[in-house]
Structure 1
Amino acid sequence: MNTYLETAADVYKQAALKPDIGLCCTTSPIWQLPGLSIPRIMQEMNYGCGSTVHPRDLVHQPTILYVGVGGGMEVLQFSYFSRKKGGVIGLDVVDEMLEACHQNLLSAEKENSWFSRDFVDLRKGTALELPIEDNSVDVAAQNCLFNIFTPEDLQKALKEMYRVLKPHGRLVLSDPITEDPMPDSLKQDERLRALCLSGSLSLADYLRMITDAGFGTVEVRAKRPYRILAPGQYKTDQLIVLESVEVCAIKDPMPEDGPCIFTGKAAIYFGQEEYFDDHKGHVLMPNQPLAICDKTAGALANLGRNDIFISDSTYFYDGGGCC
């Protein structure tokens, strides 16, 4: 194991033995669903930087893989929608975290009449070499884990996720990003990398690594402020702003003209005709916004028309539209 991964394992070993409420700063609420009770210990061990899977991703009793189990809150929430033996696979490399998650799930079983401990299959393993069969998972997720990896290891982890997903399966990720230069002094700080701070990529680089792994469709579902690395507090001369991004990557075939990446852009036609048809699958009705991928936004802009408005990226995409 690389030394930086050993440092990360030690950080999360300590967080398993003694919950560290301030370890991460989640910005999304715990799911509030009928009959779902989250043990307090799980809430205290809610280590992440945002939301991952949305309930709409969890239809038809899916098989779900969650890498980096933490205290077990997310695997419990996923089990609410996949109430079958081994319906949720929880993976972690830290023995102490797996044991803490197991004990927390036993507590959850007592608090939730619908939940059975065998709904969750806890396995030891690394994201760099998943102990999972090819094309066997409907939904895979990770929350503020892949940010720990170097770019080389991140590439391996993304390809592993792609391998285990079924065709059209979904990989849902939440990670910090930054548009500010990250100095080498921070990149090489193994503890800061373990804390998901100094491994942050730009959004463009992050998305490019996802599509390089083979994902043909990518949705940027949310982007919000996360942390500040300030001079005097960290080894940097410039203020570094971190944001938390939530992305869904879909194992769709790669289009010949490149991936479809949705960053929350929309097109609105306001011309005199009944509708506008670009004859490439996009029909714009007057003054009805249509969600479009960045590739389509560029193609429409290149038409040079003055009766089509194309919005900037909102970095919020909630489905619908076309590519």
Structure 2
Amino acid sequence: MSYQEATNELYRKAAIDPDVGLCCTTNPIWQLPGLDIPLIMQEMNYGCGSTVNPGDLANNPKILYVGAGGGMELLQFAYFNRNEGGVIGLDILDEMLEASRKNFVEAEKLNPWFKSSFVDLRKGDALDLPVEDNSIDVAAQNCVFNIFKADDLKKALSEMYRVLKPGGRLVMSDPVCEQEMSEDLRSDDRLRAACLSGAIPLKDYIKMITDVGFGTIEIRAKRAYRVLSPRHYNTNELIYLESVEVCAIKDPMPSDGPCVFTGKTAIYYGEEELFDDGKGHTLLLNQPLAVCDKTAGALASLGRDDIFISESTYHYDGGGCC
């Protein structure tokens, strides 16, 4: 059985018989005014973070969500785009698409503003999206891409890049792991399907994203996810996994490489009212400025004793230097 087959088997069962304890189930359930999420959607909450950010969703963006699941994030996205087919929900499994359709009926009962027709449910593969080029404002996936092996992950990211409009946003949540995993863990298709053994280091995850062309990366959140212990898994040490929320923007690639925001901040505390590095970055006296890692490195290399650069917080909410 391949890892794709193991994944389909696991989630086909989860579509028919919701499994509250399945893999992720750590996706925060944001409460928005006038939004009531059906219990069945919460029980099918198979995500490891959130891809729904109001800052991405102004002016009725066209939205693509890959991996429909129980429909919870599709409902949340529809909250921001209440147009016929304003949100495309994609899944490779007929059973999961049918579960979403049924759950939307329940959502209509609880939310007078919501119509199932706001979501265009489509059967399709993340590796070959049934979506036109340059047609999507916001694309998202939650705890799906970490399942893919390297070649398939590159295809999936390239497909997301293809369908996004210039300036469009790819919002994702996936587990990451900084420790080495044994080959036995990596090759266990069922553990990969359960969003455990496919996690890669954050720097490798970011490089996969920028290698397909995304010029700006925002690390918006990082939180504890799981541990793989020798008591339950084939490992000699405790392996710690975190979930990360990332926004990749289809900006032109800068000549000196991508801008990756990991929550670093620069603070100028010199004698003048401001510091200008002559490269588009102005630091006002004692006013923190979020900077990408590239700019943080450049400022640090100046060797000044009046500029402080913080460590990465892995929580970035905009307003940065680039």
TM-score bracket, shorter-length normalisation: over 0.9
> What's 1:173 paired with?
172
Matches of 1:238 and 1:52, distance apart in 2: 32
1:275-322 alpha-carbon deviations (Å, 9 max, x no partner):
100010100111100000000001001111111000010001010021
> What's 1:240 paired with?
239
- Equivalent AA in structure 2 for residue 253 of structure 1: P
1:163 is paired with a residue whose SS is helix
> What's 1:163 paired with?
162
1:84-120 alpha-carbon deviations (Å, 9 max, x no partner):
0110000000110000011111111122110111100
Query: Which structure 2 residues correspond to residues 80-229 of structure 1 after superposition, within 5 A?
Result: 80-229=79-228
- Equivalent AA in structure 2 for residue 247 of structure 1: V
Contact conserved, 2:173 with 2:246, CA < 8 A, in 1? yes
Quote the offset at 1:37 in angstroms: 1.1
2:174 is paired with a residue whose SS is strand
> What's 1:58 paired with?
57
Superposition misfits of 4+ residues, deviation over 2 angstroms: 24-29
Contact conserved, 2:135 with 2:165, CA < 8 A, in 1? yes
- Equivalent AA in structure 1 for residue 300 of structure 2: A
Quote the offset at 1:53 in angstroms: 2.3
2:114 is paired with a residue whose SS is coil
Matches of 2:203 and 2:25, distance apart in 1: 23
Matches of 2:90 and 2:38, distance apart in 1: 20
> What's 1:45 paired with?
44
- Equivalent AA in structure 1 for residue 85 of structure 2: G
Matches of 2:249 and 2:299, distance apart in 1: 24
2:80 is paired with a residue whose SS is coil
Q: What TM-score comes out, normalization by structure 2 length?
A: 0.98
Quote the offset at 1:28 in angstroms: 4.6
- Equivalent AA in structure 2 for residue 161 of structure 1: M
2:100 is paired with a residue whose SS is helix
Quote the offset at 1:241 in angstroms: 0.4
Matches of 2:269 and 2:23, distance apart in 1: 46
Matches of 1:166 and 1:202, distance apart in 2: 28
- Equivalent AA in structure 2 for residue 277 of structure 1: D
1:122 is paired with a residue whose SS is strand
1:165-187 alpha-carbon deviations (Å, 9 max, x no partner):
00000000000000000111011
1:64-87 alpha-carbon deviations (Å, 9 max, x no partner):
000001100100010010000110
Matches of 1:262 and 1:128, distance apart in 2: 27
Contact conserved, 2:27 with 2:45, CA < 8 A, in 1? no
Query: Which structure 2 residues correspond to residues 227-306 of structure 1 after superposition, within 5 A?
Result: 227-306=226-305
Matches of 1:182 and 1:126, distance apart in 2: 28
Unaligned ranges ≥5, structure 2: none
> What's 2:15 paired with?
16
> What's 1:73 paired with?
72
Matches of 1:29 and 1:53, distance apart in 2: 10
* Structure 2 CA distance for partners of 1:28 and 1:12, relative to 1, 3 Å: closer
Q: What TM-score comes out, normalization by structure 1 length?
A: 0.98
> What's 1:313 paired with?
312
Contact conserved, 2:38 with 2:103, CA < 8 A, in 1? yes
Quote the offset at 1:205 in angstroms: 0.2
1:127-150 alpha-carbon deviations (Å, 9 max, x no partner):
000000000000000000001000
1:80 is paired with a residue whose SS is helix
1:227-256 alpha-carbon deviations (Å, 9 max, x no partner):
000113101112110000000000000000
Quote the offset at 1:36 in angstroms: 1.0
Q: How many residues align?
A: 322
- Equivalent AA in structure 2 for residue 236 of structure 1: T
Matches of 1:141 and 1:181, distance apart in 2: 28
Matches of 2:274 and 2:21, distance apart in 1: 53
